[in-house]
Every structure is written in C-alpha cells, then in structure tokens.
Structure 1
Amino acid sequence: MFSESAFQIFEKCIEDYHIKDDVDQPFENPYPNDDIAHLLYRKNWIDTVQWHYEDLIRDPEINPEDALVLKRKIDASNQDRTDLVEYIDSYFLNKYRSVQIKENATINTESPAWAVDRLSILALKIYHMQEEVDRKDASDTHRQNCKTKLDVLLQQKIDLSLAIDQLLLDIEAGNKYMKVYKQMKMYNDEELNPVLRGEK
C-alpha cells in the first residue's frame, strides 16, 4: 500500500539525516526525479531539518541575531514544505486524472498530500520519541512516560496510514474526488504583506 512505502521512505530519510545530524549538511536525494519517492524523500528532509531548527530556536541562551537568522530559515522551510505538498498533490491529480467520478462522489476534508504531510511529521515524532525511550541517562519514569506516548503515536500511524490508503482507493474508484486549493500564503508575498511592501 502507498502509506507503507511512503513511511519507509520517511524512515530512510530520517536515518540518513541523523548520520551527520547537522541542519547545514548538503542534501542528496537517492531517488530518481520522475519517481514519487523523490518528492516524498525531499518532503521529509525538509520536515526533518525544520524539526531541528525548531529545537535550536528554543535554546534560552540563543543570541538574538542568530535567532532572527534561524527564524528566517524556518519561514523559508515552511514555504518549501507547502510547495512540496502541492507538488505531491499534482502527482495524485495526474495519476487519477482519467478516473470516472461517480455522480454521488464526495470530497475529502484534506487532499492526499496534506494527509501524507501529517504522516511525514508522525514519522519524526516516532523516531524522536523512540530516542527518548532508549535514553540511558533518563529516569525510568521518563522512559516509561515516553513509551506510553510512543504507543499512542504507533497507533496513530496505523490509523492515519489506513485512512490515507482508503482515501486513495476511494479516489481511484471514483467514490471521492480531489479538489486542490493552493495555500496562498500571504506573509511571504511582497504584494500581500503590508510590512514587506513598506506600509506602516
């Protein structure tokens, strides 16, 4: 099923990142450009780097100038994330473009790619919660609390994966149809953000 292969790609990406565990490390995509795996790997890499940006910016001793630079990187990362989700949705739109939509077909609350976005973030939560479970310098109470949380995350993975696969099956069968809205983020647009266009 799609969700299983996607999650495996996310796990590989997270493992690859943590070989160096450096937000400034160069990015290399092991999958060919014309493969959906290429987009999924890139998507999770963005999420993984941003996960660590978010850790860094919460350092109470961070220099304000460094924090501002990091905030700009987080903003850029958010835009990249949104762009990748829209690319993934374009893949699904193209894949199912010839499906005959049934007269009583319904629309989903989110597109397939935004559900995949949540699966990518969930892979990161599971990875890092597992790290906490395995921490040798943590108390038994801490590890047990994290194990309880990890169990919830793993159940969430099962449920979300099932929902994604069912959505794709419904789209393929014409029971649901895709209707994609661009995010139209305003804060990065010089024409739409009054601060960027110089208004007081």
Structure 2
Amino acid sequence: MTKITADGPMKSPSRLCHVVLRTKPDNYRAMVDWYLAFLGGRVVWGNERLSFISYDDEHHRIAITGFPDAVPRAADAAHSCGMAHVAFAFDSLEDLLTTYLRRKRLNITPSWCVNHGPTTSMYYADPDGNEVETQVDNFETNEEATAFMEGPEFKVNPMGVDFDPGDLIRRLESGEPDKDLKKRPQSGPRMTR
C-alpha cells in the first residue's frame, strides 16, 4: 500500500513542461503567430482568446491568452501581460503529492489545485507573485492527452476541475488506482479560474 509522507528530502521535478503568456486582446493574434513561427509550432486547440501551441509530441509547450483588462505587470500582476506561470512535471501522482506535503511542511502551499484533464496540477506563488505549476500527466501517452484536448469536454472547459490534495492523498493511500484518481470529473463550462 502506498504511504504519502512529508519525511525525506524534497523531490525534484522531472522536466519543465510549458509556459503560459498573458497578453492584451489586440496583441493576441500577433503573439500566437509569432510563437508559431518562432517555434515551428502548431495550435493543438485554440479560439479567439486562448491557444495551446506545441512544437513536439507534448500536448502543449506554450499557451497564449488574451485578457481584455490586461495591464503591465508592474501595475497589477494578477491581470498583467507577460508570463502567467511556468510548469514542472513529476513522473507520478505519488511524487506530486509527496512534494506537496514536503512543501506544506515549509509553509509553501498551493493557491490552486486543478485537474485540467491532460494534467493534475498545483499552482504556487513565488515571493514576487509569479505562478509556478507542478503537475503530473493524466494520460499514458501524449497522443491520448492531445486527443482529450481536441475533444468535446476540453472545448467546453479548457480550465479544469478543482480538487483537494488531502482528498487525493487519502484516496491514493486507500489503494484507489492512479488512473482513476487522475481522470478529470465531468463538469460544465469553465473558461476562467
């Protein structure tokens, strides 16, 4: 049986996954086009406000979103143009949850825990207020994650469904399979946090 514990050294992420950039709506198309050209990328999913871009077999490496009320970061970091967050991946849900407990022991707690569908993610704020995401992939292959992102559930809700990490820990420790824990619950429309 799995035991999630705060004991032991901090587990390092296994890789850097993606970067999300926030921009003003009148600059949105130029930003998307620039990243497509710069990376030799493709839009995996996009609309007039949000695009997920990949340049390899990952479901996305860059996301660009246009916010009507975006202002320069120095004025209002929560609604500003620029990088929204950087993400780091773990190889397993157990690693993600173990690290959550170890960070919590250091009074570093997430501001948002969400199952996006392709990933189960926890967001943290650094001392300057920049967001850092830690995540675990929810699908066995990148092709499965991309198929989910191209499907009807993601079109209605590309943001995800919030979760309680304590609940996930209890369920994992009780023997519930990872695959079941990482499956995103059904939800209605959601385009914002």
Whether these two folds match at TM > 0.5 is no
Higher helix share: 1
TM-score for the superposition, normalised by structure 2: 0.25
Structure with max Cα Rg: 1
TM-score for the superposition, normalised by structure 1: 0.25
Higher strand share: 2
